[in-house]
Structure 1
Amino acid sequence: MFYVYAIKSEDRNYIYVGLSNNLERRLKEHNEGKNKTTKPYRPFVLIHSETFETRIEARKREKYLKSGIGRDFLRSL
């Protein structure tokens, strides 16, 4: 199983979209500052997640959520 997820910074106006095969571990890594890209924006809360059977499907959805229309969808949550 693969997960596409969106996390939002609790302190700043920042949304990160990612893909992982272990959502709990990945969210923990973001909040512990182990990811260079998201470290300055922590702490995070999970605002959206979707499950996929294959990495290809998940990657397709991740690309969509990182697009303009996908970002608009995430901001509306």
Structure 2
Amino acid sequence: MPERTDWEAKARGLVRAEMARHNVTYSQLVERLESIGVHEDERNLRNKVSRGKFTAAFLLQCLSALGATKLDLG
């Protein structure tokens, strides 16, 4: 199994941090994504976030669904 890169870990961390900040579970994120037209099931969402391997578009969709308005890349 290939090792996770720093960038993948950062992407995963961004999504998880916003989920924690907004007190949103994976199942709630699935519902929020659904409301903006993104169809994911909870298992696939968990796997994507856990791996940190997803497109920039998916990252933006998650952040938008979570209500994030600013992004700190520090």
- With the shorter chain as reference, the TM-score category is under 0.3
- The two structures have a TM-score, normalised by structure 2, of 0.27
Higher relative contact order (CA 8 A, sep 6+): 2
Instruction: Report which of the two has the higher share of helix.
Output: 2
- The two structures have a TM-score, normalised by structure 1, of 0.27
Instruction: Report which of the two has the higher share of strand.
Output: 1
